[in-house]
A and B are shown apart, each in its own frame.
Chain A
Amino acid sequence: MSDIDIKRISYLAKLKLPSEKEEFYSNSLKDIIKWVDNLKKVDTSKTEPLHNVTEKTVSIRNDEVSKSNSVNDVLSNAPERAQNFFKVPKVVE
C-alpha cells in the first residue's frame, strides 16, 4: 500500500489538522484502507461493473422551465449577501 499524504488529504477535505495529530490520522486511514482492501481478494475479472443496484435507467423529464422559488429564498441561507449576490471571502486565481 502506498503511503498516505495526510497534508494533501486534509487540504482536499478542507480540514485543518494540528501537526501532532497527523501521524494518528495517517495510521487510522491506513487501517481503514487495509480493511477495505479485503475486497481485492474477490476475483472480479469476469464481472461487469455495477453502477447502481437498481437496474433501471435514469429518470428523465422534458425540457420545460418551472420556477419554484424566489431570489430571496435562495439567498436566505447565504452567510452574507450584497444586493442579490452571495458574498464570500475572496477566492481568486
Chain B
Amino acid sequence: MSNNWEMVIGLEVHAQLKTSSKLFSSSPNQFGSEPNENVNFIDSGMPGMLPVMNFGCIEMAIKTGYALNFKINKYSVFERKNYFYPDLPQGYQISQFEFPILSEGYINIDSGDNQKKIRIERAHLEQDAGKSIHDIDPKYSFIDLNRVGTPLLEIVSYPDLSSADEVINYMSSLRQLLMYIDVCDGNMQEGSLRADVNLSVRKKGQELGTRCEIKNLNSFKFIKQAIEYEFQRQINIIDGGGEIEQNTMLFDTSTGETRAMRSKEFSHDYRYFPDPDLLPVNLSQEQIDKIKPLVGELPQDKLNKYLDNYSLDKDIAKIIIAEKQNANLFEKMISESTVKPKFIAAWLVGDIFAFIKENNLEVNSLNDKTKDITDLLKLISDDVISNKAGKEILPKVLNGEGKPSELVKELGLEQVSDSGELEKIIDEALVGEEENILKFQGGSDRVLGYFVGKCLKATKGKGNPKLINKILLEKLKK
C-alpha cells in the first residue's frame, strides 16, 4: 500500500557545545546542577545587562565547519528571534538568521551498501532556552533557567534523507563527528543532541508535498518511531482524499503518536532583527586557519588508516572507530606493544568490549590498564599461554588482580612449549595405537584430531596445540 509512497526528510539538529561557560555570559555551562544555580543577570534577562560573546563557541563552530565540509563565513550576524515563553526571560532568543557562521556543508552516510552524500544548508550559533516543569503543581509551571544561554549549534540539512534508517545514520554520523572533534558530549538523554524532523510524503517521482515538523526528538528510537508514524499519518490523509496542513507536531513518547501543537497559527512570527547589543562577528583568515589543526583525525581518516596500515577487517575497524574513546584505547595499545594491531583489535572488540559491557564500564576506564592488557596479549600471541588460558586471565587483569605473567604462574596456566617434553608425552600417547596410526596413514584425517586431543589431555590442557600438531604429524608420517 505505502509502496508507491516515499518520504522526504530534512533534519534540524541542535548540538549543545561543551564549553565551560555560556554563549553570552560567564555562568557555568553545566548539566544537572541545582535549579537556577547557573544563572546570572544576563541569563535571567535583567534590564541593562549586555551579552558578551564567548570565543570558545566560535572556535567550536569553526572546528565543526572543518569536520562537516562547511564554508566558514568570516562575517556573521546575531539576530533576535522574538517569542514569548516563561523559560525565555529575555523575550527573544539570540540566534543567527541571514548570516550564519557556517554554510553549504555535507557529510557522507551509509545507505544500504552504498554511501550517500547528505548536503547541509547551514549551521548557526544560538542560545538554548530554560526548562519548564509542568507536573509538580496543577496550576503552576516551575521554571529552571540553568539551561538559558547554553550555546547551541543548529545544523540544518537539506531534504536529502529518504528513510528512517538514513535519518538514524545521518544523526549518528553527526554525533560521532561532533564527539571526535570534542565540541559536543553527544549525550542524547540529557538533551545535548536533539533533532527536529521535517517530513513530507509524495508518490515516487512526483513533486514535494507539504511538510510537517516534528519537534525535539532526543533518542534514535523516538526519531524512528516518530518518522514511521508521521509517514503513515500523512499517507492516510492523502489516501482519504484530504490535504496535509503545514503543522508543527509534537511526538508523544508514551503512545508513539504525533499530534499538532495548538498554538500553530502563531508559531512562525518571530520578527527577526539584528541584535543591537551585539556587533557582527568579523573573523580573520588567520583566526580561522589557526583552528584547523585542532580538528584532529576524523573517523574516516582512522578507518582508512586501520584498513591500510593495520589490515583490519572493515567490520572490526568500524566498531573501533564508532567512538573516539575506542580508537584512543586501541591506538594506545598499539603504541605500547609489539603485538600485531590485528590481534589486538580482535581481542578488543571481542573479550575486552564484552567485559566492559558486562560490568557497565566506560571504555576510558581501561586507559591505565593498556600495558597489562598488551602484556597478556603478547603472552598469547607468543604461545606462552593458550587462547583459552588468555580468556581466563583477561578479566582478572582488567579487574587489576595482578600482572599477567604473575597470574599465569599463580594459576599454572603456562603452556608447555618445550618440544622435548612434548615429544615424550606424544610418544607415550602413541603406545598401543598401531591400528589408528595405520588408519591415519591410510588417509583418515579424523584420527589426527583424536591424537591431538589425547596428547592435550595428557598435558592437562597445557600443551601448546600448534606444537603438538606439528610433532604429531612428523611422527605419524614416518
Contact = CB atoms under 8 A, between A and B. Distances in A.
B269 to A, nearest CB: 6
B279 A52 contact: yes
Contact of B280 (A58, A64, A93): A58
B139 A63 contact: no
The A contact surface, by secondary structure, is: loop
Contacts of A71: 34-37, 39
B52 A59 contact: yes
B139 A90 contact: yes
Nearest to A58: B279
Contact of A61 (B52, B276, B279): B52
A33 B151 CA distance: 36
Contacts of A56: 279
A14 interface: yes
B328 to A, nearest CB: 23
Interface string A51-93: 1101011111111111111010111010010111111111111
Q: How large is the interface on B (under 10, 10 to 19, 20 to 34, 35 or more residues)?
A: 35 or more
Contacts of B140: 80, 82, 87-90
Nearest to B28: A65
Nearest to A89: B140
B56 A74 contact: no
A64 B145 contact: no
A68 B21 CA distance: 13
Contacts of A39: none
Nearest to B134: A92
Contacts of A89: 139-141
B279 A12 contact: no
A90 B279 CA distance: 36
Interface residues of A, number: 39
A92 B86 CA distance: 10
Contact of B36 (A62, A63, A84): A84
Interface stretch (B112-120, B157-165, B259-267, B318-326): B259-267
Which residue of A61, A66, A83 has the most chain B CB atoms within 10 A of its CB atom? A61
Question: Which of B132, B250, B263: most chain A Cβ within 10 A?
Answer: B132
Contact of A59 (B56, B133, B279): B279
B143 A88 contact: yes
A39 B250 CA distance: 42
A11 interface: yes
A40 interface: no
B19 A63 contact: yes
A8 B271 CA distance: 13
Contact of B55 (A63, A73, A80, A93): A63
Interface in B7-62: 19-21, 26-28, 34-37, 39-41, 44, 46, 52-58
A67 B27 contact: yes
B36 A60 contact: no
A21 B180 CA distance: 59
Nearest to B58: A60
Contacts of B229: none
16 contacts: A8-B266, A52-B274, A54-B279, A59-B52, A60-B53, A61-B26, A61-B52, A61-B53, A62-B54, A63-B19, A64-B26, A68-B26, A74-B41, A86-B142, A90-B140, A91-B86
